[in-house]
Structure 1
């Protein structure tokens, strides 16, 4: 388990949302994913687990949107040497879930298993609490933060949560 020196292992790392400006050319999935403020912490977690000798990883994105971040993280995990990558993405928008499924279906690596489901992120995190993910991605508003933190801590060893409005809790 990767430990951040300033946080306990079960702490949630809250991050401001990324702002997307006008883009002159279409961006690749990786470029979109790496604009997410959670990306650097995700990459540190992946590298840290590999350095510890981990060969497999489980990532859950409880508010996955079109799946860019989860798919890119899975691909990067393989590049880092993970031999098995399991990813679960959940979102409340059926169009985004369908887009994520289509993108994931184009990924040729059999060592990457990605599942995208229609659902509520709170319920997904409650389901994950029995067998917590190595890395949990979520998003929350300031008003939801306290209740959200309790649920998220149980669902993942490391939690990276994008703040959707207001200040950090």
Structure 2
């Protein structure tokens, strides 16, 4: 799974809150043909602002606003992942990490930012993707400087975090 460059947050329907900047990454969109997560050429990573800006709580979390107007606080300097699960060019779900390492996500019908299930902890988000046949979704997070952990959504729920690197 790799992040995909995007023309800009406004085009994607992402409400730019204090400190959200686009951080484009190299593109990769080849489906795998099996059930392992693969990404379509749609989206990118969003850089969360830095401490000292308006809307910062303490010195570790910056205020962010999801595409649906839900206000939350994510770790300053971290990256939020904006996932387009159906490939139509709009954000369907956003993932981020707070200063206390909790992993949160938001989507249109959530009504607010919600902590991810299964007690995962991370230092940053890493990537997102879905299976070629659309039956699985995945979010990858970074732990420390080199570990990557993944939770997959299938059978109507997010599953246990597993180390993938």
TM-score surpassing 0.5?
no
Greater RCO, CA 8 A, separation 6+: 1
* TM-score, normalising length: structure 1: 0.30
Higher helix share: 1
